[in-house]
Amino acid sequence: MTFVKGIWRILVAIKDGLVLLLLLLFFGLLYAALSFSPKPAASVSSGALLLDLKGTIVEQPAELDPTALLSGSGPQMKEYRLSDLVNALEAAKDDGKVKAVVLNLDGFMGGGQVALERVGKALDAVRAAKKPVFAFATIYSDDGYQLAAHASETWVDPLGGVAIMGRGGSSLYYKGLIDKLGINTHVYRVGTYKSFVEPFTRADQSPEAKQANQALADALWQDWQEEVAKARPDAKLAAYVSDPAAAAQAAGGNLAKAAENAGLVDKVGNQAAFGERVAKVAGDSPNARTGSFASIDLATYARARKPANDGQIGILTVAGEIVDGEAGPGTAAGDTISNLLYKALAEKDLKALVVRVDSPGGSVMASEKIRGAIMTAKSQGLPVVVSMGNVAASGGYWVSTPANLIFAEPDTITGSIGVFGILPSFEGTLAKMGITTDGVRTTPLSGQPDLAGGTTPEFDRIMQMGVEDIYGRFVGLVAEARRKSPQEIDAIAQGRVWDGGTARQIGLVDRFGGLEDAIAEAAKLAKIDPAKARAYRIEKEPDKFTQFLQSVLEREGDNQDHSRDMLARQALLQRQWAMQAISDVKALVNGGGIRADCLECRAYGAPRPASDADERGLLAMLAALWR
């Protein structure tokens, strides 16, 4: 007994010590978080505004998990809010302290054509204000070069080059794996072009999906070339992208020289030489590091110039996958977004509502919940204007139907008006292991859906009828919103994806324009002078503690090396896209309900940040399949 009491005292002492340690850590971090605040505008130094983009440009960055940040298992890429970049560049063009703008694109992973075009316009405005824009990268890929084309001086490392891949690429198809594992996928869908389910039911694209996807890729690729050619009219872009091997061979295999010969870059030089060039304009850096220059931190500058969130035009952001329930920014959770809007309608004196949509869709129920909240705003007399970003498809179009007016860009990806459901059952898998099922029923639906024993014909029929009914509702919503007949909408629906230019021609979009145009139009509809209209972003307030942790970790990560050569960079980019395979397989296993979703749309934005947990999940999945 004495021995047990001794052990117990030791355990209690350890417990008390751990509690004390955790309390000290908690209050220390709490103090640091409460003490953390953005630097005031006066602290911003003079020099070049440095856009060192190590990650992706998004409409709304995802909320970071403090636990993941502390454990080092958080996202491997940063996300930069599009509006923050635009606001910073617009402030820079009139700021006497900003002598130039510098784009360091070595770590840039993309952002979608619409977002990059908007940043490009902001860079053009800086140049129009007689301020130089410098760009540097070891390897320029499509998205990075779309930005660099707007620079007044574009540099490339002697060991690098310009690798323009164009639109398109391959996707993963799981039919062979599914058959090997004995999984039975029950698919319920409406829409000739609703190709989200094809990776689970086919080994390749259907002819209809390939036709639609080719048309979309061709339209986006044409627009990309036109924008770059307008930004760099003297570049021999068409010849370079049509036969890059010939361009490289003419330069003796030197990719950097090939890009210079084609007029795609202005200078070939390493980062030290580039820094010395910028220093002549922006001034010398306080530190003595070779190639450094006086630089203004983007995050600090953007925070100091962020507009006050006190306007009369509400901006509701629907960004990311549309999901049921609650979620943080970067994911369009039905309960979260609808509750935020209801709260704003109750507490703020809003005169109009702009819905900014950048989503490939997702859950039908969540899409309808968001649409219902928007309809409430409309029923209270608020004009509703939708502004589409990179993607506003499937569920993203569903939530757009209440709009008085829809703005999009020619490169916006929209449409995909279709519905599907997918449910796996594992009777074949279990049979391979010698496991079978049996039981009794009192109705045709008893025990359904039976994931172990399979579904009944009656269940499948009911599910298909349900999907068809929801598709009819979707078509009806669009028909009412666009003042067309359901038959006219059905002819352009069927799950087909359209580029923004075509969408305007067929009546799914009203006008071309960005978020600023939508805000101005909403102000006019509310009888407010557009010049006096101010925005109120209807969003969750950022967590100060998470902001503090992120700022600390970002400073530590600034000295990390990033993959720079062509093979390493492209491998990293493709690895980020491969992480999408995890969510695809999870969607199959979990059976995500009836969805208005667009698979092909996801490949035209930026890859989502992958965490260490995602990497481990992919490796574990591959190891399990190998065994």
| DSSP notation for 432-445 | HTT-------SSTT
- Virtual torsion, Cα 602, 607, 611, 616, nearest 10 deg: 70
Residues with Cβ < 8 Å from 6, sequence gap 6 or more? Answer: none
Cβ atoms within 10 Å of 441's Cβ, excluding its own: 10
Asked about 524 being catalytic, the answer comes back as no
Q: Checking DSSP bridges between strand 405-408 and strand 384-393, what pairing results, if any?
A: parallel
| DSSP notation for 192-251 | TT-GGGHHHH-SS--HHHHHHHHHHHHHHHHHHHHHHHHHSTTS-HHHHHH-HHHHHHHT
Q: Which of 414, 379, 410, 576 is nearest to 495 (CA)?
A: 414
Can you tell me whether residue 335 is helix, strand or coil?
helix
Return d(Cα 396, Cα 598) in angstroms, integer. 9
Cβ atoms within 10 Å of 552's Cβ, excluding its own: 13
Q: Which of 478, 266, 517 is nearest to 389 (CA)?
A: 517
Q: What are the φ and ψ backbone dihedral angles of 352, each rounded to 5 degrees?
A: -160, 165
Cβ atoms within 10 Å of 602's Cβ, excluding its own: 22
323 to 125, 181, 188, 331, 562: CA distances (angstroms): 38, 28, 19, 7, 33
Residue 574 tokens read as: 């493709």
Return d(Cα 123, Cα 127) in angstroms, integer. 6
Residue 583 tokens read as: 């969510």
> If residue 581 lies in a helix (H) or strand (E), which one and from where to where?
helix 580-590
Asked about 194 being catalytic, the answer comes back as yes
- Virtual torsion, Cα 341, 347, 353, 354, nearest 10 deg: -60
Residues with Cβ < 8 Å from 365, sequence gap 6 or more? Answer: 324, 334, 593, 594
Q: Which of 141, 91, 150 is nearest to 117 (CA)?
A: 150
Question: In terms of residues, how long is the chain?
Answer: 627
Residues with Cβ < 8 Å from 123, sequence gap 6 or more? Answer: 89, 101, 103, 133, 147, 150, 151
> If residue 67 lies in a helix (H) or strand (E), which one and from where to where?
helix 66-71
Return d(Cα 352, Cα 525) in angstroms, integer. 8
Please give the single-letter amino acid code of residue 612: D
Candidates 295, 367, 394, 611; catalytic one: 394
Candidates 78, 99, 194, 369; catalytic one: 194
Return d(Cα 212, Cα 195) in angstroms, integer. 10
Residue 258 tokens read as: 């090939």
Q: What are the φ and ψ backbone dihedral angles of 288, each rounded to 5 degrees?
A: -95, 15
- Angle (nearest 5°) at CA 265 between 261 and 269: 95
Residue 618, phi-psi category: left (phi > 0), alpha (psi -120 to 50), beta (remainder): alpha
Residue positions annotated with a catalytic role: 194, 394
